[in-house]
């Protein structure tokens, strides 16, 4: 209440609780009126505002800087049904490859090849489960998308296949900016066929990002999406199993983003950047997803994107961008993943431990514990303050981290089934308590507890050095995972939180499949 929110995709490095706008643009909200749950989806890609009691007390309003006043009112009356119908409208995901639900390790950046090989070896030597290694921008030749730096990675195909033999999938990052370089084939093709965005006054739009001066594909043009898809051929032939799309707000260093009057095709309905900005990232992710499918030989694609518009769940998972290694940000990540999940995007996660700065062992351990229950589970860091692999902390932390990553794998059948349910009927995987029992007014004010699927409730530990924490259990009966105590719901209890215990509760009567 008393807030106004703006949707205008922004590269909000080091954002905080009050940052507005952020990376993603999902013009959807839910409400309760006399216990009847409803949702409003504002189907408009222009810069959009939602005002909840800020402009006028007791009034909610929303508007955009262009386009039609086209919105969908979804009558629950159950909030869970609002979520499901919202995805009926905007789309549901395909099942991801199972490995994508495992643990991912990332850093900006792991290079050269020997560093990547050592990383893989360390995971296996230390018996910490891990399925995926992410390569950030430094694998590329001068940040040219779809190339490899041959000094750092002389034989990528061999490296990727050796990693595969050890049970690792490799993911690479791809940004939208294409380096202006007459010796670079992607640049030449793009210019020749008119695939890049133009400025309002005619010439090709230029902007500086990592490679220096770049042009930017117009992903609103179906021909450009088809072309972009084919660019993944080489990487997939090198054995790459998934793609990470970054900087697609779109972000430009000096000006923030494209000028408002930049030109776009918009599927044959030419328009300016005002109409495209918020959907640019989703369309890039769509082309990226389709590209993998062209060459993956019927294997499932995996894409992760930073910017997104409503419906992105059909093509990609998301992460919450450049957060901080603080306790505050552990809480923010918790809330973000709940809200994304209610907004059609269950396949979400945060940079575990925080992207900017260095967590201490306790913060990292607590963050891992929470992220075990987030569908996308990846440690990532800016690398500015040293490394952030699970073994960078004292042994007592490493042991707890290992146990929790193991728990993630034990729970995979449950998590995968929960994903199947999401893919099938749009049920959010992560559920705030108000989705579980909207008639319980206590649930409106609880932000930390959440359910993963139907039967597991967790309460992430979000403060340092605490030995217990208050947890609210919704209606029904719950088993304390740690001591099998049966507890009646609709009450607040005190749960113990020694370092190796995050409060976990299992709904009475549930069957939870475990695997080794």
401 binds ligand MIG (CB under 6 A): no
Task: Supply the minimum distance, in Å, between the C-beta of residue 280 and ligand MIG.
Answer: 16
Rounded to whole angstroms, what are the CA distances from 141 to 84, 184, 200, 486? Answer: 44, 10, 31, 58
- CB nearer to ligand MIG: give 384 or 394: 384
Within positions 109 to 148, which residues make up the interface with ligand MIG, using CB under 6 A?
136-137
Q: Hey, which residues between 227 and 246 contact ligand MIG (CB under 6 A)?
A: 246
Specify the residue, 11 or 265, whose C-beta has the smaller distance to ligand MIG: 11
Position 321 contacts ligand MIG (CB under 6 A)? yes
Report the alpha-carbon distance of residue 165 to residue 187 in Å, rounded. Answer: 35
Q: Does residue 211 interact with ligand MIG by CB under 6 A?
A: no
Q: How far is the CB of 188 from ligand MIG (least distance, A)?
A: 24
Rounded-to-integer distance, Cα 92 and Cα 84, Å:
9
User: Which residue is nearest to ligand MIG, using beta carbons?
Assistant: 108
Of 308, 386, 388, nearest in space to 351 by CA = 388
Return d(Cα 220, Cα 198) in angstroms, integer. 13
- Distance of closest approach, residue 71 Cβ to ligand MIG, in angstroms: 31
CA–CA separation, 179 vs 338, rounded Å? 37
- Token reading at 328: 């505050």
* Count of residues of this chain found to bind ligand MIG when the rule CB under 6 A is applied: 10
Interface residue with ligand MIG, options 113, 322, 448, 449 (CB under 6 A): 322
Residue 172 neighbours by CB distance under 10 Å: 24
- Which strand (E) or helix (H) includes residue 181? none
Task: Report CA 358 to chain centroid distance, whole Å.
Answer: 21
Tell me the C-alpha to C-alpha distance, in Å, between residue 442 and each of 49, 56, 82, 144, 286.
Answer: 29, 26, 20, 52, 40
Q: Which is nearer to ligand MIG, 380 or 469 (CB)?
A: 380
Element (H, E) at 133: strand 132-135
When asked if residue 306 is in the footprint of ligand MIG (CB under 6 A), the reply is yes
- 108 binds ligand MIG, rule: CB under 6 A: yes
Nearer to ligand MIG, 175 or 218 (CB): 175
Nearest CB to ligand MIG, comparing residues 247 and 368? 247
Rule CB under 6 A: choose which of 80, 159, 173, 504 binds ligand MIG: 173
- Binding to ligand MIG by CB under 6 A, coded x per residue (else -) over 333-372, reads ----------------------------------------
- Nearest approach in angstroms of CB 134 to ligand MIG is 9
Q: Which of 217/321 has CB closer to ligand MIG?
A: 321
419-424 long-range contacts (CB < 8 A, ≥24 apart) are 419/95, 419/96, 419/101, 419/346, 419/347, 419/375, 420/95, 421/453, 422/92, 422/93, 422/346, 423/92, 423/93, 423/94, 423/95, 424/92
Decide whether 246 or 362 has the Cβ nearer to ligand MIG: 246
Q: Is 81 in the site for ligand MIG (CB under 6 A)?
A: no
Q: CB neighbours of 299 closer than 8 A, spacing ≥ 6?
A: 97, 241
Give min distance, CB of 72 to ligand MIG, in A: 31
Distance, CA of 127 to CA of 121 (rounded, Å): 10
Site string for ligand MIG, 255-284 (x = CB under 6 A): ------------------------------
Quickly tell me which residue has 């062992």 as its tokens: 361
Q: Compute the least distance from the CB of residue 138 to ligand MIG, in Å.
A: 8
Any idea which residues carry the catalytic annotation? 246, 249, 322
Instruction: Note whether 84 and 427 are within 8 A (CB).
Output: yes
* Region 377-396 residues binding ligand MIG, contact defined as CB under 6 A: 380
Q: Which residues bind ligand MIG (CB under 6 A)?
A: 108, 136-137, 173, 246-247, 306, 321-322, 380
């Amino acid at each position: 209440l008393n807030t106004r929110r703006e949707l205008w995709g922004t590269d909000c490095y080091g954002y905080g609780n009050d940052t507005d706008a952020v990376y993603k643009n999902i013009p959807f909200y839910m409400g309760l009126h006399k216990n009847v749950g409803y949702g409003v989806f504002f189907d408009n890609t222009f810069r959009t505002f939602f005002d909840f009691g800020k402009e006028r007390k007791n009034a909610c309003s929303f508007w955009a800087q262009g386009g039609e006043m086209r919105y969908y009112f979804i009558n629950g009356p159950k909030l869970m049904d609002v979520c499901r119908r919202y995805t009926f409208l905007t789309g549901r995901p395909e099942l991801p490859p199972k490995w994508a639900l495992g643990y991912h390790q990332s850093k900006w950046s792991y290079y050269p090849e020997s560093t990547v090989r050592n990383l893989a070896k360390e995971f296996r030597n230390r018996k910490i489960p891990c399925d995926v290694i992410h390569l950030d921008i430094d694998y590329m030749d001068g940040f040219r998308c779809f190339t490899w730096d041959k000094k750092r990675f002389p034989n990528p195909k061999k490296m990727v296949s050796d990693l595969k033999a050890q049970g690792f999938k490799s993911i690479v990052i791809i940004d939208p900016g294409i380096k202006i370089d007459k010796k670079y084939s992607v640049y030449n093709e793009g210019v020749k066929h008119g695939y890049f965005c133009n400025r309002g006054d005619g010439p090709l739009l230029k902007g500086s990002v990592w490679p220096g001066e770049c042009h930017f594909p117009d992903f609103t043009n179906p021909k450009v999406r088809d072309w972009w898809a084919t660019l993944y051929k080489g990487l997939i032939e090198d054995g790459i199993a998934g793609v990470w799309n970054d900087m697609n707000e779109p972000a430009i260093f000096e000006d923030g983003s494209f000028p408002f009057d930049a030109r776009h095709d918009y599927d044959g309905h030419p328009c300016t950047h005002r109409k495209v900005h918020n959907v640019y990232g989703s369309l890039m992710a769509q082309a990226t997803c389709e590209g993998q499918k062209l060459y993956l030989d019927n294997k499932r694609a995996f894409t992760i994107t930073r910017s997104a518009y409503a419906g992105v769940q059909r093509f990609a998972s998301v992460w919450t961008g450049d957060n901080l290694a603080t306790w505050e940000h552990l809480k923010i990540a918790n809330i973000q993943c709940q809200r994304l999940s209610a907004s059609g995007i269950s396949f979400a996660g945060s940079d575990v431990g925080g992207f900017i700065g260095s967590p201490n062992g306790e913060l990292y351990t607590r963050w891992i514990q929470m992220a075990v229950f987030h569908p996308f589970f990846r440690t990532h860091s800016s690398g500015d303050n040293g490394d952030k692999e699970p073994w960078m902390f004292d042994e007592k932390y490493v042991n707890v981290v290992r146990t929790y990553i193991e728990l993630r794998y034990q729970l995979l059948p449950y998590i995968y089934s929960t994903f199947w349910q999401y893919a099938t009927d749009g049920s959010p995987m992560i559920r705030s308590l108000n989705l579980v029992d909207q008639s319980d007014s206590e649930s409106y004010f609880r932000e930390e507890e959440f359910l993963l699927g139907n039967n597991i409730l967790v309460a992430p530990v979000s403060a340092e050095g605490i030995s217990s924490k208050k947890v609210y259990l919704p209606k029904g009966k719950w088993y304390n995972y740690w001591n099998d105590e049966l507890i009646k719901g609709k009450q607040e209890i005190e749960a113990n939180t020694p370092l190796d215990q995050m409060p976990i509760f299992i709904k009475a009567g549930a069957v939870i499949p475990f695997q080794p």
